[in-house]
Amino acid sequence: MTATRPADDAQLAVTPDAERAGGQGVPGGLSAPPVRGASEAVGSRREILYFVLRSRKVIVAAAILVVMIVLAVVGPILRPGDPNALVGPLASPPSADYWFGTTTFGQDIFAQFVAGLGASFLVGLAGGGLAAVIGVVIGFVAGYRGGIVDEILSMLTNVVLVIPTLALLLVATAYLAARGLLVEAAFIGLTSWPWAARAIRAQTFSLKSREFVDLARISGVSSWRVIFGEIAPNMSSYLFLTFVLLFGGAILIAASLDFIGLGPTDGTSLGLMMYNAVAWSALQLGLWWWFVPPGIAITAIVGALYVMNVGLDEIFNPRLRES
Amino acid sequence: MLSLDRVSKSYKVGLFGGTDLPAVRDVSFSLQPGEVISLIGESGSGKSTIGKMILRLLSVNRGTISHDGTDISTLRGTALRAYYRTVQGVFQDPFSSFNPIFKADHVFGLIRGVYFGSASAAEWERRVDEALQAVTLDPGQVLGKYPHQLSGGQLQRLLIARALLLDTRYLVADEIISMLDASTRIDVLNLLGDLKARGLGILFITHDLSLGNYISERTVILRRGQIVEMGPTPAVFGKPLHPYTRMLIASVPQLHVKWGRLEAGERAGTGWTPAATEPCRYHGELLASGASASTAALAASGLVEIEDGHFTGCVSPNADGTCGGRPTTAS
Amino acid sequence: MSLQVTDLRVYYRTLAGDVKALDGVTLGIADGEIMGLAGESGCGKSTFGNSLIRIEGRMKHVGGTVTLDGVPLPIDDQREMDHFRFAEVSIIPQYAMSALNPTRKIGKMVAELLATRGVRYRDAREELERRIVLVGLSRDVLDRYPIELSGGMKQRMVMVVSTLLDPSLLIADEITSALDVSSQRAVAQTLVEFRDRGFVKSMIVVTHDVSILYQISNTLAIMYAGKLAEKAPTEVMMSRPRHPYTRLLISSLPEIGVRFEEQRLSGIPGTPPSLLNPPTGCRFRDRCPLAIAKCAEEEPPFVEIEPGHSVACWMAT
């Protein structure tokens, strides 16, 4: 609030009405109170929990995710073995033996489904996690250092942002004959970090101007400890939300890539299931049980993650809450 | 001794950083332990910039800030940490100075980690208690609490205690009481006065003239990055030489004297602007002021000594700060 | 009687209960009077000012009435209050400088505002320009965007806009706090001029800075912890304050000429009580040097001890 911009006339900061005496102070003015940063004091953790338990969005979304995770974990136990094995009658609809029916080759769709769920979650975690790490580090460094370092990193961020990832992937597939899940995750991680870096950089800029950062600096604390010890904890909800979005985004990107055939060359995933379903004319043949489950699953997972993100944002950002 | 010698800082703004925006221009003064200097200026005067430069939070473009003869911009690593033991700061917004997610004594923890790593728990506790007593805070009431559970006055005192923990000799107090209520202001101010008596040198940065007058031995008046008047506080307030100082003093609402009527020209509230055609009445002295060693640096920055220790800047400066007046023919 | 407030109570809803920010305030303001309302943060002065114009968000009107020029003000009915806002009751808000929409030219914003009251911009333009010049701005400010103006200029522009329809009552909420000392004087004295020229009939100036109030207000009211402590004509308040809080407050203000070595001023130790569960009796008793047993049991009523001078203190009556 007291940045030293010379040419501005009236910058003397906010009135003593901003001072809260005794802990239960009354909001001084009703119009545009000063911005106090992304997170409330820890003392209001209980308040956050209160809102979490009351937020329909978060509860419903979390429930959907839990169901999917349970399926992904328990499923392969119920149906052990190679999900791509030919086990049953060809192209048969859901029945007591094969809950989701079989493919045109006689593969158990339910087995594929639960294995695919696991694969999708793995890619989401690995790819989203990698993107998060890169984005966070670059965002913090650019935001904290400013100046020429910020210029260079921002340029890098913008370049990666506008690179056509599809074209890049096509080139990569031409060179990599066999691709596994990890390669796909690495690819997603290396190309989807820019927007996270920009968001983190912006937040870091605004937190850097807070006086507790200056205070840490004049306490002889090193820059890295200032970033991770003072700034990052203040943005913990923001960082969490960033990860949630990256996770969901990675799953969606992976499914899309699999669907157009640029995914892993072995194994199975939800997107691969849909790719195969289209490749073998499931729609024309009326084999709805082949592509409907994976489709619904992808939509449900990604949708739930986004809705949870919105719900959590409302909780962490008090100004979005209803009174 | 902490001294500033022709310190200047400017910011690069505009497209591709083409334009130079001067924030501080040719500022020179020095601070001794046991004295309070009030640095008074309105917004945009550069007073906070000076405070931050002393604390090494901003870099100096020209000129030097030295501590006991050493240029502080050369300090690194251990030497820098040693500097922070001697020179500390307290800032304006107590609620912004504390990281809201940690307890208030986190700021002590930071100090302990860097400077008192080898001290035992009992020794540390003793030091903390001593520092809190010196700022009249009850350890039981403030330790272990979150910042939002304490009042602004308590938080500012905690920050002063933090500086005392380091046995600091110089304190940069940047508008530290402007966000406190009237009833707590005086208490924190009196605390500073007591610490001064114990040997602390304080740079009291403020926009409030009455507070500066209350607490300081010397006063520096800053306008648009330049010093326009400087001297012993009773002299600056009692016999202000520069028209800007006089305007500031006249604008302060007093408790027993009413303001006069506003002139038409004063309505815009733009304060004082130098009249380009008015001859600077000090110009003659400026020309005549000799190269006496102690005043040479000051004369170079456009200040001339009118009486003992009481300096004033040019009354009609050019845009770049040099004297723009014509010498007066009358004496 | 221009404004009459009777036992006004406005609380804030919070998760922990009701914060009794304004707990029974009764006062009257005459035509042509500028009343200064001072106190420390959390005392309720801003709540008072805001409740007269807009009760919103977590505020709730719990009791009491407000009458302006003989007509009751429907402060808790947003729709009904719309007829009074801007035309009869107006406010210069605390963050007036951010009250201007940055994407609108100032002239356009004024035109839109007037349109909501059914006043044509063309009809009001001449008077608008006259007032803009009066406050020391130039006419072309109407063609500028807010970002081109300095803080003091924006503050004065908001002053002109808020009083354009000659309201009966103007509430100025901490309008000088964020300004430099040179603009402060100009803004404060302009406020008085608005009253002198009849643009506004009466004013409530809310601020923590008692010295500015001394300069411009006719009467001074001091609030503490949601209640009125003392109210008197300014000269009387300065020379004969009766409430211990007022006396301590005034004596803690450093004036030019008072120096630490010669005369050590003292503040008021302690902090105001929590308004979630205010203490019984007088709310100032914990910090009061004159408190007696009665102060803890019974709340002192706000009574008139001489014409125009009222105090809420057992020791003063």
Task: Give the one of B80, B101, B225 whose C-beta lies nearest to A234's C-beta.
Answer: B101
Which CATH superfamily hosts domain B2-13+20-240?
P-loop containing nucleotide triphosphate hydrolases (3.40.50.300)
B222 chain-A contacts, CB cut-off 8 A: none
B281 and chain A in contact, CB less than 8 A: no
Q: What are the tens digits of pLDDT across the range B201-249?
A: 999 999 888 888 999 999 999 988 888 899 999 999 988 888 888 888 8
Whether B248 and C182 lie within 8 Å, measured CB to CB: yes
Q: Which residues pair with B9 in a beta bridge?
A: B24
> Mind listing the pLDDT tens digit for each residue in B34-50?
999 999 998 888 899 99
Q: Is B180 on the interface with A (CB under 8 A)?
A: yes
Distance in Å, alpha carbon of B313 to nearest chain A alpha carbon: 20
Greater pLDDT, B137 or A82: B137
Position B181 scores a pLDDT of 81
Question: What is the per-residue DSSP string for A118-149?
Answer: HHHHHHHHHHHHHHHHHHHHHHHHHHHH-HHH
Report the C-alpha gap between A306 and B280 in whole angstroms. 68
When pLDDT is cut at 50, 70 and 90, the band that residue C181 belongs to is confident
Whether residue A1 and residue B96 make contact (CB cut-off 8 A), yes or no, is yes
The pLDDT assigned to C91 comes to: 92
What is the model's pLDDT at position A71?
87
Neighbours of chain A (3+ CB pairs under 8 A): B, C
Nearest to C41 among A12, A13, A16 (CB): A16
Q: How far apart are CA A114 and CA A119, in angstroms?
A: 9
Structure tokens at A207: 């937190």
C177/A10 Cβ within 8 A: no
CB contact under 8 A, B151 and C210: no
Count of A–B CB contacts within 8 Å? 140
The token duo for B104 is 């208030």
Q: How far is B69 from chain A (nearest CA, A)?
A: 21
Nearest chain A residue to B177 by CA: give it.
A16
Give the pLDDT score at B86.
Answer: 93
CA nearest to A221 within chain B: B114
Q: How confident is the model at residue C155 (pLDDT cuts 50, 70, 90)?
A: confident
Count of C-beta atoms within a 10 Å radius of residue C70? 8
Name beta bridge partners: C306.
Answer: C309
**Pair B313, B227: CB distance under 8 Å:** yes
CA-to-CA distance for C41 and C209, rounded, in angstroms? 11
CA dist., res. C217 & res. C237, Å (int): 11
Q: Out of B182, B187, B262, whose CB is closest to C208?
A: B182
The tally of CA atoms less than 13 A away on the side-chain side of residue A72 is 20
Is the per-residue pLDDT at C175 higher than 70? yes
Residue with tokens 């203000």: C253
Choice between B170 and A170, residue whose per-residue pLDDT is larger = B170
Q: Is the pLDDT of residue B194 over 80?
A: yes
- pLDDT at position C256, please? 77
Check residue A315 and give its pLDDT. Answer: 75
Compute the Cα dihedral for C73, C78, C79, C81 and give only its sign.
Answer: positive
Residue C121 touches partner A, C-beta closer than 8 Å: no
Verify whether the Cβ–Cβ distance C181 to B252 is below 8 Å.
yes
**B159 has a chain A CB within 8 A of its CB:** yes
* Neighboring chains of B (3 or more beta-carbon pairs < 8 A): A, C
User: Is A26 touching C (CB cutoff 8 A)?
Assistant: yes
Q: What would the pLDDT profile of A63-114 be if each residue is shown by its tens digit?
A: 999 999 898 888 888 877 787 888 878 888 888 878 888 888 888 888 888 8
Is residue B324 pLDDT above 90, yes or no? no
pLDDT value of residue B264 = 61
C130–A contact, CB cutoff 8 A: no
A 36-65 residues with CB < 8 A to C: 47, 50
Residue B15: the pLDDT is 66
Q: Which two tokens stand for residue C129?
A: 């320009």
Give the orientation angle of helix A270-279 with respect to helix A109-145, to 10 degrees: 130
Tens digits of residue pLDDT in C70-125: 899 888 888 888 888 888 999 998 777 777 888 989 999 999 988 988 888 898 89
Q: In the Cβ-directed half-sphere of B197, how many Cα atoms lie within 13 Å?
A: 9
Q: Using pLDDT thresholds of 50, 70 and 90, give the confidence band for residue B291.
A: very low
Task: Measure in Å the smallest separation between the Cα of C180 and chain A Cα atoms.
Answer: 6
CA neighbor of C253 nearest in space, from B92, B259, B186: B186
- Name every chain A residue with its beta carbon within 8 A of the beta carbon of B151: 19-22
Contacts of C187 in chain A (CB under 8 A): none
Q: Is C39 on the interface with A (CB under 8 A)?
A: no
Is there a contact between B182 and C252 if contact means CB atoms under 8 Å apart? yes
Q: How confident is the model at residue B157 (pLDDT cuts 50, 70, 90)?
A: very high
> All domains of chain A, ordered by start, with CATH?
44-74+108-320 (1.10.3720.10)
Below-50 pLDDT ranges, chain A: 1-43, 322-323
Chain C positions touching B149 (Cβ under 8 A) are: none
* Distance of residue A243 Cα from the nearest chain B Cα, in angstroms: 21
C107 touches chain A (CB under 8 A): no
Percent over 70 (pLDDT), chain C: 100
The percentage of chain A sitting over the pLDDT mark of 90, rounded to a whole number, equals 20
The predicted structure's pLDDT at residue A263? 77
CA distance A151 to chain B (A): 12
- At B288, the pLDDT band (50, 70, 90 cuts) reads low
Does C182 or B298 have the greater pLDDT score?
Answer: C182
β-strands C169-173, B36-41 pairing: unpaired
Q: What integer is the mean pLDDT of B309-318?
A: 72
Which residues from chain A sit within 8 angstroms of residue B43, using beta carbons?
8-12
Please tell me which residue of chain A has the smallest CA distance to C208.
Answer: A16
Decide if A271 contacts A263 (C-beta within 8 A). Answer: yes
For residue C32, what are its two tokens?
A: 């042509």
Every domain range in chain B assigned CATH 3.40.50.300: 2-13+20-240
Structure tokens at B178: 């402007």
Percent of chain B with pLDDT over 90: 36
Query: Residue C260 carries which DSSP code?
Result: T
- Please name each of the domains of chain C with its CATH number: 3-88+167-309 (3.40.50.300), 98-166 (no CATH)
pLDDT band at B296 (very low <50, low <70, confident <90, very high): very low
pLDDT digits (tens, 9 = 90+) for C46-62: 899 989 988 888 888 99
A181 token code pair = 């899940």
- Taking the CA of residue C91 and the nearest CA in chain B, the distance in Å comes to 21
Please name the residues between 165 and 184 in chain C that touch chain A, using a CB distance below 8 Å: 173-174, 177-180, 183
User: Phi, psi at residue A199, to the nearest 5°?
Assistant: -65, -45
pLDDT band at C245 (very low <50, low <70, confident <90, very high): very high
Instruction: Report ipTM for this prediction.
Output: 0.84
Crossing angle (nearest 10°) for helices B182-197 and C244-251? 40
The confidence score (pLDDT) of residue A270 equals: 86
Pairing of strands C59-68, C71-72: antiparallel
pLDDT band at residue B293, thresholds of 50, 70 and 90? very low
Give the closest of B193, B237, B270 to C256, CB-based.
B237
Helices within chain A (DSSP H only): 45-54, 56-78, 109-145, 147-162, 165-175, 181-191, 194-208, 211-217, 223-226, 232-234, 236-259, 270-279, 282-285, 288-316
Q: Which residues of A touch B44 (CB under 8 A)?
A: 5-9, 11
A1 reaches B (C-beta below 8 A): yes
> With an 8 Å Cβ cutoff, are C190 and B267 in contact?
yes
| Residue C277 Cα, gap to closest chain B Cα (Å) | 16
Residue keyed to tokens 């046995």: B167
> In terms of CA atoms, which chain C residue is nearest residue A14?
C178
Cβ of C256 within 8 Å of Cβ of B269? The answer is no
- Cβ pair B181:A16 closer than 8 A: yes
Supply the DSSP symbol for B22: E
Contact C181 B43 (CB under 8 A): no
User: Which residues, at least 6 apart from C233, have a Cβ–Cβ distance to it below 8 Å?
Assistant: C218, C219, C220, C308, C309
Q: Could you tell me if A31 lies within 8 Å of chain B, comparing CB atoms? A: no
Q: Is residue B291 classed as helix, strand or coil in its secondary structure? A: coil
